[in-house]
Structure 1
């Protein structure tokens, strides 16, 4: 198995052979990978169990099931038929 240094050297050689537009694309991809890695690190340290009674979405579920919202929601969303 190749060591990391050899792999990096091969990658540099490959990058040097790319046209400029592909290098810009590669830079965007590298930035995406860094963003994704930072997000995964933050996410793994932030993961916690959300109890149903503390979930803000669950607190408002059913809110529009009562008048006057429930009577006009179809008209509001889809227009009067």
Structure 2
């Protein structure tokens, strides 16, 4: 916990020396880091959203060995139009 407080104190000192345009840039960067931190948790959950049995790509594994692969790929992925 003491390391975090020391780091914060050092950051405050550094921030005090920045001019206004760089303060805005720093603020944007901090917002990006916060977004990235929350998005990382959401991304790991989203990866599990599609069950393997419903994944169209997994259904195509092995099809490249059978002709004609390229002619049927779109129909298999997106359905016949």
TM-score, with normalisation over the residues of structure 2? 0.60
TM-score, with normalisation over the residues of structure 1? 0.60
* Unaligned runs of at least 5 residues, structure 2: 60-72, 76-80
Count of matched residue positions in the alignment of Structure 1 and Structure 2: 62
What is the alpha-carbon distance in structure 1 between the residues aligned to residue 39 and residue 25 of structure 2?
Answer: 21
> What is the aligned partner in structure 1 of residue 74 from structure 2?
62
Does 1 or 2 have the higher relative contact order (CA < 8 Å, sep 6+)? 2
Q: Does 1:4 align with 2:4?
A: yes
**For 1:22-46, what per-residue CA distance to the aligned partner results, in whole angstroms no more than 9, with x for missing partners?**
0000000000000000011112234
SS of the equivalent of 2:18 reads coil
* Unaligned runs of at least 5 residues, structure 1: 64-68, 70-81
Q: Does 1:20 align with 2:20?
A: yes
